Amino acid sequence: MSQIGGLSMNNNTMIIDVIPLFTTLKIKTESEKILTEISSFVPNIELLIINVGKKLTISMVERNLSFIKKLALLLYSMDNNMKTCQLVNTPRTFSTIFSFIKPFITKDALKKICVHKDNPINNSENSINVNMNN
């Protein structure tokens, strides 16, 4: 199992805890280290869980947009077995935040994403359809 601030990988699952990861990214050298670590696990990932965090703000996304773009490109450029991506603990402003990120996501990838307002990820009552036309 590998663990970097906000990122943990074990077998076929990767968990990204967004707010701690963004805190780790304040150290400039960490960005490339994290991307390198992720790239070594991407081919084996079947489940990606992203704990967005209720306190995530639009300004946090804007400050880390360069990293988000690099991560999206890394995930798309590598051959992988990812079956699903679960976004959990999304804030009220998530539809606005997601509008910043959605342009970097392919239509095929959008089909694999399931957004949950809360956690646990299996609570389907709190699911949001990300294939909305916005």
What pLDDT was estimated at residue 88? Answer: 92
- The answer to whether the CB of 50 falls within 8 A of the CB of 16 is yes
- The answer to whether the CB of 128 falls within 8 A of the CB of 117 is yes
What pLDDT was estimated at residue 118? Answer: 82
Q: Which two tokens stand for residue 98?
A: 């997601």
Domains of the chain: 2-128 (3.40.525.10)
Of 48-52, 56-60, 114-118, where does mean pLDDT reach its minimum? 114-118
> In this model, does residue 51 exceed pLDDT 90?
yes
Quick one: average pLDDT of 86-105? 84
Give the closest residue to 2 by CA, choosing from 33, 85, 10, 20. Answer: 10
Of 18-22, 45-49, 63-67, 109-113, where does mean pLDDT reach its minimum? 109-113
- Classify strands 7-10 and 13-17 as parallel, antiparallel or unpaired: antiparallel
CA-CA distance, 117 to 114, in Å (whole number)?
Answer: 10
Give the 3-state secondary structure percentages of the chain, helix then strand then coil, rounded to 5. 45, 20, 35
Whole-structure pTM value: 0.78
Pick the more confident residue, 81 or 50. Answer: 50
> In this model, does residue 125 exceed pLDDT 60?
no
